[in-house]
Amino acid sequence: MGTPLIFSFWPLHVLAAIKAAVLIQRWYRSYMARLEMRRRYALSIFQSIEYAEEQAQLQVCTLDYTMREYEQTIEVPASYYGPHLSFPLTVADTDVLLQAFKHRQHLHARYVLQLLHETRKVLQQMPNITYLSTSYTKEITICGDLHGKLDDLLLIFYKNGLPSEENPYIFNGDFVDRGKNSIEILIILFAFLLVYPNHLHLNRGNHEDHIMNLRYGFTKEVMKKYQCYGTAILHLLEDVYSWLPLATIIDSKVLILHGGISDTTDLNFLNLFQRNKLKSVLRPVKSNAETVSKPRGASLVETGSHRTEATKSLSGQDNSLKEATRSTSAPSKRRRYSRDVSDGKEPLGNLPGRGSSSLLPEVQYLKPGSVTTSQTSSELTTKEWKQVVDILWSDPKHQNGCTPNKFRGGGCYFGPDVTARLLRRYNLKMLIRSHECKQDGYEISHNGKVITIFSASNYYAEGSNRGAYIKLNPDLIPRFVQYQVSKSTRKETLHQRVTAIELSALKCLREKLYTHKSELIAAFRQYDPNYTGKISPGEWASAVESVLCLDLPWRTLRSRLVYLDQDGRVEYLSSFDNFEIQLPIKEVQPFLVETLCRYKADLEIIFNMIDKDHSGLISVDEFRQTWKLFNLHLRINVDDESIDSLARSIDFNKDGSIDFNEFLEAFNFYIVTFPHVPAYSSSP
C-alpha cells in the first residue's frame, strides 16, 4: 500500500520525521519494558533468597536460647552527653530523642531499661485486638515494616507529622532486624506510646521475636551498642514483645494485622487467649499440651525446601522462661471506646464491648487475666500457637484456597475466597497487612479487599523499592503516600539504578550457587555422564532448581549466570567462576569451607547461645561444642579431626580462645571477574 491520503500532501521530510518518531517511541517502550523486567526479576531473586533464609531460621529454632534476669542499679556517668529522660515522659522528651538520634547519639542503657519497663506496663493493659475509630479531622496513618531503617521513620514523621492526639498512627509490626537502627526505632515508638497511649498503636510482627533477632541482626546491634547491659535489654524486650497486641480493627470494618489469615483464623479466639504466653512463635508448643493435629498453614516444619532433610518440630517450649510480672497498679490511660453492634453478619461476639452479650460491655482494655477462657492453663496450646503463626507469617495468593507457605516455612498462602469468607463472617470490608516488600511500597490484591503496606524503602538494596504509608478517614478509602530515602541514587539515571539493583541481586544469587557447589555439580553430572562439562540450558535450569528450590526463572537468568559454548550448551562449572573465598587458613578442607559459607548464619546463632557473655570470644572446647550442636541440628557429617584441625588453625596466638566474629568475617565472598562470563554486564 502507498502513503495514506491524509499524509499525501505532507512534505517528505515531515513524513520521515514522523516515521523516525514512531521508531524511537517503539524502541523506548521496548527499552523501558526490558528495564522493568530486569527490576522485577531482581526483586524476585531477593525475595526467594529471603524466604529460603526464613525456612532455615524456622529450623534453627529447635535450639534453645534463654537469658537470665539481670537486675542492677545503673548509674549514668557524668561523661554521658546523650539524651536524658524522666518519667512519666512528655512531648519534650520525644523531641529530645528524635534530635539525638538524628545526630547518631545513643540513649543510655539505664533509660532504655526504664523505658521498656514503662512500655510493658502500658502494653499489659491492652487487649489482643485493639478497636479504633476515625474522624474527618483525625485520619489514621498506617505504616508497615520499618526493619531498623531510622531514616524512613524520620522521613514519615517529616512528611506526615509527629504522632499526636490529632495525628494518630498504627505501626504494623517488624520494627526491628536487618537495618542498623532497630533499637532507636523501638525507643522512638515506645516513647510516643507512653506519651500518646490512645493515639499510637503497635501490632506485633514476626520479627518481634527474640529467636528471629538472633539471625537478622537486632541481637548483635543491641550487644554492640549496649555491651554489658545488652543481655538485660534483650531479656526485657523478649517479654515486651509478648505483650504487643496482635491486630487492630478500625471502625469495625478494617482489620489490620502483620502477616495474613488462614481458613481457620478465629478473631474471637485470638482476642481472648493470654497472649504473653507466646514468647516466640518459632518455638512450637509441647506435644502433650493437647492432641496435636497437623494444621494446614501453621506448620513450621520445612516442606519442599532446599534442605536435604526437614528437622523435627520442637518437643516443648522452654519452661525456664519466667511468666511476665503483671502490672495491676498502673492505671490505663487509654480511652474506652464505645462501639455499636453489627447487624446481619456474625459479630466478634466475645470481644469486650461488642454487643449486649459481652461480659464487660464498657471495657475495652482489659487487665491481663481478667477474661477466663476454656483453656486456663499457663501452657500454650496448639490452637493458640497456630492462630498466631498464621496471622504473623501468612501471605496472600491470587488463586483460591489455603495452602502451606512452603517458601517461608510457616503460615499459609490464602486466596481471595479465604479473604472473602473471613470479611463476610465478621462484617469487615478490608484487610490491611504488611510482611512483604513491594516495589512501590504497597500492593492491592483480592479484588481490592487486601492491601499490603511496606514502609522500609531500599529494603534489599539502594533503589530496590519505595516505602509507603496509608492515610485512612471515615470513608475507608485508603490514600497512599510513597517515598524513598535517597542518598547516592539522586543523581543516577533509571538505567544506573536498575543495574545497581540487578547486580546486587545477582551477587546474592551467585553466593547461593557457590554455597551449594557440591550438590549442584552432582546434579549437573546426572545429565553429563561422560564428564564433558556441558549440558543443555534446560538441563542446567532443572538441576539448579532441584537443588536450590527458589522457584526462579532460571532460563531467563541463565545468560547472567553461566557461559554458553558455540553450540548453545551450558558450561556448568562457569556457574561458580565469579566467586572465590578469601581463606585465612589454607589447610581448611574445601568441603568444610562450603559448609561454613552455607550455614554461616546458623553457626553464628549457635555460637551466640554458647557465648553467654557476648564477648565475641569462646574457648577451643566451646568451639568444638558449637560444632557438635551445629552437626546435630543440620544433620551434616563433619568429623572431629577436621574440626580440631580448624580450631587449632584459627587460634592464631595459641591462647586457647577464638575470636569467632573475625573467623566468620574471614569466610566472606569476593568477586573475581572472568571476561568470558557475562554475569555482571550492565548493558540494557
With H, G, I as helix, E, B as strand and everything else as coil, classify residue 171: strand
Task: Check if the beta carbon of residue 128 is closer than 8 Å to that of residue 243.
Answer: no
Which string of b and e fits 576-610 if b means at least 16 CB within 10 Å?
bbbbebeeebeebeeebbbbbbbbeebbbbbbbee
Q: What percent of the chain has pLDDT over 70?
A: 64
Average pLDDT of the residues in 301-312: 33
Cβ of 653: how many Cβ atoms within 10 Å?
Answer: 7
Q: What is the DSSP letter of 572?
A: G
- The confidence score (pLDDT) of residue 408 equals 81
Spatial separation of the C-alpha atoms in residues 598 and 511, rounded to whole Å: 9
The pLDDT of residue 211 is above 80: yes
Q: Which of 108-117, 235-244, 287-296, 489-498 has the lowest mean pLDDT?
A: 287-296
pLDDT per residue over 507-530, tens digit each? 778 878 877 888 898 999 999 999
Strand residues in 62-151 grouped as ranges (E): 129-132, 140-143
CATH 1.10.238.10 domain position(s) in the chain:
494-585, 593-673
Range 85-150+157-251: architecture per CATH: 4-Layer Sandwich (3.60)
With H, G, I as helix, E, B as strand and everything else as coil, classify residue 483: strand
pLDDT per residue over 459-469, tens digit each? 888 888 899 99
Q: Which residues have a Cβ under 8 Å from the Cβ of 310 and sit 6 or more positions away?
A: 59, 301, 302, 303
- Name the pLDDT band for 367 (thresholds 50, 70, 90): very low
- The confidence score (pLDDT) of residue 24 equals 83
pLDDT per residue over 333-355, tens digit each? 343 333 333 334 444 443 333 33
Q: Which residues have a Cβ under 8 Å from the Cβ of 19 and sit 6 or more positions away?
A: none
**Burial of 421 per CB tally in 10 Å (0-12, 13-18, 19+):** middle
For the range 589-592, what are the long-range contacts, defined as Cβ-Cβ under 8 Å and sequence gap of 24 or more? 589/642, 591/518, 592/638, 592/642, 592/646
Average pLDDT of the residues in 448-460: 94
Q: Class for domain 593-673, per CATH?
A: mainly alpha
Spatial separation of the C-alpha atoms in residues 611 and 614, rounded to whole Å: 5
- The confidence score (pLDDT) of residue 609 equals 62
Range 494-585: architecture per CATH: Orthogonal Bundle (1.10)
Strand residues in 294-420 grouped as ranges (E): 395-396, 402-404, 412-414
- Residue 280 vs residue 71, higher pLDDT: 280
pLDDT per residue over 399-413, tens digit each? 999 999 887 878 999
pLDDT per residue over 134-183, tens digit each? 887 789 999 999 999 999 999 999 999 999 999 999 999 999 999 999 99
- Residue 16 vs residue 109, higher pLDDT: 109
Nearest to 222 by CA among 280, 282, 181: 181
Average pLDDT of the residues in 283-311: 45
Q: Which residues have a Cβ under 8 Å from the Cβ of 497 and sit 6 or more positions away?
A: 462, 463, 489
Average pLDDT of the residues in 296-306: 44
Residue appearing with cell numbers 555482571: 680
Handedness of CA 395, 401, 402, 407 (dihedral sign): negative
Strand residues in 135-283 grouped as ranges (E): 140-143, 169-171, 200-202, 247-250, 254-256
Q: Mean pLDDT for the chain?
A: 76
Q: Say what the alpha-carbon torsion angle 130, 136, 137, 141 is, to the nearest 10 degrees.
A: 50
Catalytic residue ranges: 207
Element (H, E) at 481: strand 479-483
Task: Check if the beta carbon of residue 434 is closer than 8 Å to that of residue 205.
Answer: yes
